[in-house]
Structure 1
Amino acid sequence: MHRISKYKGCLMKNEKVCILIVEDDMIIAANLSIQLTSLGYEVAGILPRGEEAIIHVKEHSPHILLLDINLKGALNGIDTARAIQKFKDIPIIYLTANSDDATFEKAKETQPKAFITKPFNKLSLQRTIALVVEQIKEDEESSQTTQDIEVLEDRIFVRHNGRMEKLLLEDILYIEADRNYCVLITSKIKHMLSCTLKVMEERLPKSSFIRVHRSFIINISKLDVLADGHLEIGRKVIPIGKSHKELLLSRIRTV
């Protein structure tokens, strides 16, 4: 087994990404370890059983879990993921040689970041891990920026010019995504917030605010016009995403 290191779980700037390999085929596991090390990652360890992986994650918190779906023993990979997710939110990448639809659907329930099909090659491994690492960094940046926002029952405080300024929720017209930022619009001012639209969606009260498009959240009480493919608030025309339309219509009926 490889050297065991202790990690905090979060990914600090310039820190090596630490990956725990849980694979009962030692030839595959050793090959993975060599490939990951050559790509600049740190291998936290190689474990053949799900039970051992659970203990390891509790004690050491690696950044990523590279987990074989079809582990032998009392716990398969999916069972192991579920057990770990009860106490730790850790990104999971499944290793699988099984194309069975039922197994794939069960695995999806654990919300893995990716799947790597065996036999794998170095390029697919490299690209998959790089994409997952990028997702981790984006998620952590989003969670850190929520410190600039404080949402109370009827108001929101946003950091502006070094201080927290109050905005009443009833004054917000809509919020528009701008990459990893979003713009909060009232009738008088605009605020650029250093967080994603997803973060705002999670923090604002769902009784008043609803996502209507991948780039827009609206204050439903400010809705002026509802058309087939768009809505209007003031003079702003906002598109309605197909996946959001049904929820929007149901909410309007209850208002």
Structure 2
Amino acid sequence: MGRPIKILIVEDEMVIAANISLQLTTLGYEVTGIVPRGEEAILQIKQNQPDIVLLDICLKGDIDGIETAQIMQNDYDIPIIYLTANADEDNFNRAKTTNPYAFISKPFKKLDLQRAIELTALKVQTDTHFKDEKLSPFILSDCIFVRHHEKMVKVDIKDILYIEAERNYCRIYSKGKEYLLVITLKDIDEKLPNQHFIRVHRSFIVNLSQIDEVATSHIVIAKKAIPLSKTLKEELLKRLQTI
């Protein structure tokens, strides 16, 4: 059996927060904390990252719940469930931009909260299972097979423009399509055929045949400016001379 789903409660009405905490604990979830302000929520997430954040939209303090979610999403991909007593159109439209998993209107029934948490937890567990599979791309001399929508799809090496790091993932940009892979840039760099690809920056690998321009501090591929590290520039120029 896996560890319990961890939930952070961000709610400035402490009686409501305490009731939610009790209900979640009874259902077998782990409450990582109860905080009344967005600023405290950001600090709490840094210290003990939860799997789900239960977030009141109308928080007291310098930032409201939606702004808290926006700041949090700069660094973390954590599902959000909003609590709100004020479901007006403006707040709803602002909140939608943070892609919440659910909205719960206050006052809410225990069953509404339970179902929203269960559906979100199920999605978290499914995503975690998918991430933990660590299904590496299958790399051949002329193509890569990558996981995409539960299938392995073929991506021709000649069509790959560049690959960008996204924390523990990397994103392949090919002609007309993108693929997010559960692999670090360092790991995929070790697997890619050396004659086609080169690391040009800590966050970028490029396909040598797709380079349109090499400037002082960047490369251009398909109108995208890609930063070029000083330490890697010399190797790139050597490689281009030998093509």
TM-score range, shorter chain: 0.5 to 0.7
The unaligned stretches of length 5 or more in structure 1 are 1-12, 160-174, 186-201, 211-255
Which one of 43, 62, 75 corresponds to residue 74 of structure 1? 62
CA distance in 1, matches of 2:87, 2:140: 47
CA distance in 2, matches of 1:157, 1:77: 41
Kept in 2: contact 1:151–1:203 (CA 8 A): no
Alignment match, 2:35: 47
Kept in 1: contact 2:7–2:54 (CA 8 A): yes
Which one of 22, 25, 29 corresponds to residue 37 of structure 1? 25
Which one of 107, 120, 128 corresponds to residue 116 of structure 2? 128
CA distance in 1, matches of 2:9, 2:128: 23
Which one of 165, 175, 182 corresponds to residue 207 of structure 1? 175
Q: CA deviation at 1:145?
A: 3.9
Matched to 1:182, the amino acid is K
Kept in 2: contact 1:151–1:204 (CA 8 A): no
The unaligned stretches of length 5 or more in structure 2 are 155-169, 179-243
* TM-score for the superposition, normalised by structure 1: 0.57
CA distance in 2, matches of 1:182, 1:122: 38
Matched, 1:84 2:72: yes
Kept in 1: contact 2:145–2:152 (CA 8 A): no
Matched, 1:23 2:14: no
CA distance in 2, matches of 1:35, 1:61: 21
Residues 96-155 of structure 1: per-residue CA shift (max 9 Å, x gap): 111211110100111111111111111111111111011112222333345332468951
Alignment match, 2:84: 96
Kept in 1: contact 2:145–2:153 (CA 8 A): no
Matched to 1:83, the amino acid is I
Matched to 2:16, the amino acid is I
CA distance in 2, matches of 1:59, 1:152: 42
Matched, 1:182 2:151: yes
| Superposition misfits of 4+ residues, deviation over 4 angstroms | 150-154, 202-206
CA distance in 2, matches of 1:151, 1:105: 43
Computed over aligned residues only, the root mean square deviation of the Cα atoms, in angstroms, reads 3.0
Kept in 1: contact 2:146–2:153 (CA 8 A): no
1:142–1:100 Cα change, 3 Å:
same
Alignment match, 1:63: 51
Kept in 1: contact 2:55–2:65 (CA 8 A): yes
Question: How many corresponding residue pairs?
Answer: 165
Matched to 1:20, the amino acid is L
